[in-house]
Amino acid sequence: MTPNPTACLLVIGNEVLSGRTQDANIKFLATRLGEIGIPLREVRIIPDVAETIIATVNAVRPMFDHVFTTGGIGPTHDDITSECVAAAFGVPWEPHPEAWARMERHYKPGEFNPARQRMATMPRGASLIDNAISIAPGFTIGNVHVMAGVPRIMQSMFDTLAPRLAGGPPIVARAVHALGLAEGRIADGLAAIQGRYPGLDVGSYPYYRASGNGVAIVAKGPDPAAAEAAIAEVTALMQALGHAPIQGEPPV
């Protein structure tokens, strides 16, 4: 079986690092990328600092099949993602003819000012990623996909982008949970099950809810039959420990 292609996400911007903003993009992209079989393998949240952005883009683009970025493509001085990606690829940062023409038409005479012109300036060779919300597009260069940080704009850009990406089999998850079960009691048996299913990630997640505490076991991978077989073994293990397992994730 060909391994799935992999993804890395760079969240660019000071607002998540300062605690001002709760990130809303990681979970969306993690979920959607899993569905198209390009599992997210790493996320880096980095500040609006040119040398950090350039070095990070160049560190990760050979490590993963796809690199997605969010944030830093607006018109203000702290929006430097686009010029940094050009620097990382060693190509000129120049007006993109199609983006430029589109934005020039969009704004009233005199309003397509230098700040807004920056949003139509891109690494040479970039292809546009349109979105249904704003006139300013994202872009792809090489295996790097540059998207907005505002969640609804980013989501619309990802809808445009997803059909262009060659994915693998979807990553599916199967789960079972048991109230009152401690991780420390199931750990040894669980390690043995993980050992029998090397193509799956078998994860153990304690939960603490008003309705009770317990542990959820999740098996994830591209092979649904394997995930179901592993969860059946976990279910039997929970029963052998005297618990009454419940299929699926615990209710939120």
The binding site for a second copy (CB under 8 A) comprises 11, 13-23, 26-32, 34, 39-48, 52, 74-79, 111, 113-116, 119, 150, 152, 171, 173, 183-188, 190-191, 194, 201-206, 208, 218, 220, 249
| Closest by Cα among 74, 14, 87 to 47 | 14
Nearer to a second copy, 19 or 97 (CB): 19
Residues 6 or more apart in contact with residue 162 via CB below 8 angstroms: 32, 36
Query: Considering the complex, what minimum distance in angstroms separates the CB of residue 125 from a second copy?
Result: 25
Please spell the DSSP secondary structure of 138-159, one letter per residue. Answer: EEEETTEEEE-SSHHHHHHHHH
Query: Considering the complex, what minimum distance in angstroms separates the CB of residue 153 from a second copy?
Result: 9
Query: Considering the complex, what minimum distance in angstroms separates the CB of residue 236 from a second copy?
Result: 17
Nearer to a second copy, 127 or 204 (CB): 204
Query: Considering the complex, what minimum distance in angstroms separates the CB of residue 27 from a second copy?
Result: 5
Rounded CA-CA distance 15/93 in Å is 25
At 176 the three-state DSSP class reads strand
Nearer to a second copy, 141 or 200 (CB): 200
| Closest by Cα among 127, 131, 56 to 97 | 127
| Closest by Cα among 12, 31, 36, 21 to 169 | 36
Query: Considering the complex, what minimum distance in angstroms separates the CB of residue 206 from a second copy?
Result: 7
* Alpha-carbon torsion (195, 199, 204, 209), positive or negative: negative
Tell me 70's DSSP state: E
Rounded CA-CA distance 228/218 in Å is 10
Nearer to a second copy, 49 or 91 (CB): 49
φ and ψ at residue 133, rounded to 5 degrees: -105, -45
Nearer to a second copy, 124 or 212 (CB): 212
Query: Considering the complex, what minimum distance in angstroms separates the CB of residue 244 from a second copy?
Result: 20
Nearer to a second copy, 13 or 141 (CB): 13
Q: Please answer whether residues 163 and 130 qualify as being in contact, where contact means their C-beta atoms are separated by less than 8 angstroms.
A: no
Query: Considering the complex, what minimum distance in angstroms separates the CB of residue 39 from a second copy?
Result: 7
Nearer to a second copy, 8 or 141 (CB): 8
Rounded CA-CA distance 72/75 in Å is 9
Q: How many residues does the chain have?
A: 252
